Structure 1
Amino acid sequence: MQPKKYQYLNHTADVSFIAYGSSTEELFSNSIDAMAGLMLNPPKPRKKGPKCIEFSFTESAQSLENLLWFVLQRLLSESDSRGMLPKQAKHVKIRKYGKDIRAECTVLLVEKTESDAFFDVKGVSPSSMKITSHGDSYSVEVILDV
């Protein structure tokens, strides 16, 4: 049985999820996929598929929590400015450079249409974000402002 990638949680005002991963890269990738799953309705059959692009970017921080926050916020900002929605994490590589931790990410973005948008995510709440190590795996709870 394949391990769980993420699960959505009940939250009073916003939307939240817990992402899991056997590595920090998988944790970041599953966090991106969980956020994308909340933003993008399941695809409907069309005569012509929506425009998709791969978007690559790099973010740096001094903690994994801050790095994940920067990655998710950057993805929201870039998606919005391009009129697109995140669809799927294609590649995440995390490296340590001195005191900094750097994430190199490639994400598939899909053209935004009225019927595609599910939740209009405004931002990522950094206040309760805590990455937990469970020995051979990681988890993080993320709250999204909608």
Structure 2
Amino acid sequence: MAPSNTRPDPLTVEVVQLIGEVVARYHDEYEQAAARHTLTGAQARLLGLLSLEPLPMRRIAEKLRCEPSNITGMVDRLEARGLVERRPDPADRRVKLAAPTDEGLRMARGLRDSLDFARAPLASLSADEQHTLRDLLRRMLTQ
């Protein structure tokens, strides 16, 4: 899509600024939660991602938008701490998957549970409003 030469309307500017503030607060809280678990923010994000499903290094790099060599180092460090393990991909035994250990899953859950900056504001919304917000965010991400 080609960029528009017209200036965005004030409502669009405000919405974009508010989204930016939410993202910044999320990242700040995530970094603080990671530090409490003696992890970097990137390691915490990797562990959270793996808690959803085991993944090959290349796919992790795509999802986290970084170089595969960076992922290898992060997985090495998490593996040394007993939080992640490498296992063969059942679909292609030449490929190794990174997967969380039981301790890694517990830590990922603890990280997720400690991220509460949005809990109170979301709790102030009705279930219908929460569904609407979710649906609008999903729609924005599919554009």
Q: TM-score per shorter chain, which class? A: under 0.3
**TM-score if structure 2 supplies the norm length?**
0.28
Relative to its length, the structure with more strand (as a share) is 1
**TM-score if structure 1 supplies the norm length?**
0.27
Q: Which has the higher contact order (CA 8 A, sep 6+)?
A: 1
The structure with the larger Rg is 2
